[in-house]
Structure 1
Amino acid sequence: MVTTARQGGHIASSHADGTATIVIDRPEARNAFTSELYTQLKAAVRRAGDDPTVDVAVITGAGGSFSSGADLHAAFTGLAEEGPSSGYAWWDELPWPTLLDCPIPVIAAVEGPCIGAGLLIALAADTVVAADTAQFAFAEARVGIADRWAPALMDGRVPRHIARELLLTGRTVGADEACRIGLVHEVVSHDALGEVVAEKIIAFRRTSPHARALYKRYLADLVDRPTEPGIRAALEHSDAAEGMRAVLERRVPAWSPR
């Protein structure tokens, strides 16, 4: 196994039989993302896509969670100390374009929470297989954040009227509802998750690697990618600091007037 580990969590990646398995491995924080973890995920996806011996990548989470989203402690610390331009908010840290541009199929194998950044990873993947206990949400608005990548990746996947409701309320949906509305391709029992992922890999390998890469490029071109930092406009407003502080202090946020 080739493992990359740094402060704030790590991404573990292993390559076997043509499959790159990329594990978000920070279970003590339910695999919450820091900017460093974003960088490591992006690097792992790039390595998989550049490796001629790998033709499929599987992304999953350790410890019964896919990802609980952003690490609010890290985000709030960066915002308080350095402002919106903190390392946490750097535009070039985000792995979503790398996932979209990866020339090999990417499977998201989801169990447990798949929130915020975790859900963006799933939406940027080619296939999402979820355990029946998985939960999904874009909860950013509940902490004063709005990410331009969320509607961009939902568009064409989830009907817009449903995307609006999910983004504006931040509510959590279970695996079955997520499948019905288009966030997830297939829901299986927890015990069957690995078996179904293996079946998906076999299905991908029935098609031409070159044709798959071309289709991935054509599909990536259809995504209306944001041209400015995804959360900077939100971080520049006082509601972001208030929302994150309220979560950390376990209280209801006091939003500023519109």
Structure 2
Amino acid sequence: MDYATLTIDTAGTVATVTLNRPLVRNAFDEQSIAELTAAFTALGEVDSIRAIVLAANGAAFCAGADLHWMKKMAGYSEDENRADAMRLANMLRIIYSCPKPVVAKVHGDCYGGGVGLVAACDIAIVAEDVHFSLSEVKLGLLPAAISPYVIKAMGENAARRYFLTAERFGAKEALRIGFVHEVTTAAALDGQVEAVANALAANSPNAVREAKVLVRDVANQAVTDTLLADTAHRIAQIRASEEGREGVAAFLEKRKPSWLN
């Protein structure tokens, strides 16, 4: 598929999806939402891809909603707005549930829906000059479609503040509240993201996929007999899997597992 708002590059087992609308600070519109949905759906099904990096060209990671798109939405009916919002919500869910681990590589400003993009990724590594803002309430709107991912990423307490105030906050604050995993210099950003992506790609593809599901399913669950039975079932299944058996054998035999050959 040819993309007008994205570029996709592959180096070995790592794919990089790059937002490529620098003249509008990589703001969302209908086309970019559709293309992100298609790109992550397709990459999630490619066996040779073991990790995906989400990056951006230009001065900003993502400025949120495109102004022309917002003008169009102003004339939509409630039903049209609901359908439009569902397309954005579905795109974020596709990234969040992608079978491959996704690393956000963030520089510059990241506002509104761009914050949702980062939250939908599994790992977020940001340059120290990054600024975030959940700016929707300034416009009389809500960060509703992105809220499931943003609240999971930063927690309810931080979300109360930043959803309501629309304040800008920097990379250090994002790290403090747990919204991002690592802050680095702009010069070191490429290398650090590459190191994390390569670490992901070196692990058992099946185990990484199942570990991502495990975190999603177990987070915030009460420790009950049902949960214990479920986790025991998962470890039993993966121990008996082809990659599980191969990984243990390779460790005991002091050799590389087959997925690294």
* TM-score past 0.5 threshold: yes
The residue aligned with 1:83 is: 77
Aligned pairs for 1:103-252 (under 5 A) are: 103-221=99-217
The DSSP-based 3-state class of the residue aligned with 1:148 is coil
TM-score of the two chains, using structure 1 as the length reference? 0.79
Give deviations 1:44-95, integer Å, cap 9, x for gaps: 1112111111111000111121100011331222322x32344782413431
The answer to whether the Cα contact below 8 Å between 2:61 and 2:107 also exists between their aligned partners in 1 is: yes
How far has the Cα of 1:124 moved from its partner? 0.7
How far has the Cα of 1:22 moved from its partner? 0.4
Give deviations 1:122-176, integer Å, cap 9, x for gaps: 1010110101111111111111111334332133432322210000011110111
- Distance in 1, matches of 2:71 and 2:125, equals 32
More helix by share: 2
The residue aligned with 1:4 is: 3
1:97 aligns with 2:93: yes
* Counterparts in 2 of 1:73 and 1:92: CA distance versus 1, 3 Å: closer
How far has the Cα of 1:223 moved from its partner? 7.9
- Distance in 2, matches of 1:222 and 1:4, equals 36
- Distance in 1, matches of 2:195 and 2:157, equals 33
The answer to whether the Cα contact below 8 Å between 1:18 and 1:55 also exists between their aligned partners in 2 is: yes
* Structure 2 runs not aligned, ≥5 long: 221-261
Equivalent residue letter for 1:116? G
Which structure has more relative contact order (CA 8 Å, sep 6+)? It is 1
The DSSP-based 3-state class of the residue aligned with 2:63 is coil
Equivalent residue letter for 2:48? T
The residue aligned with 2:40 is: 45
Of 3, 8, 15, the residue aligned with 1:20 is 15
Larger Rg: 2
Equivalent residue letter for 1:158? M
The DSSP-based 3-state class of the residue aligned with 1:197 is helix
TM-score of the two chains, using structure 2 as the length reference? 0.78
How far has the Cα of 1:3 moved from its partner? 4.4
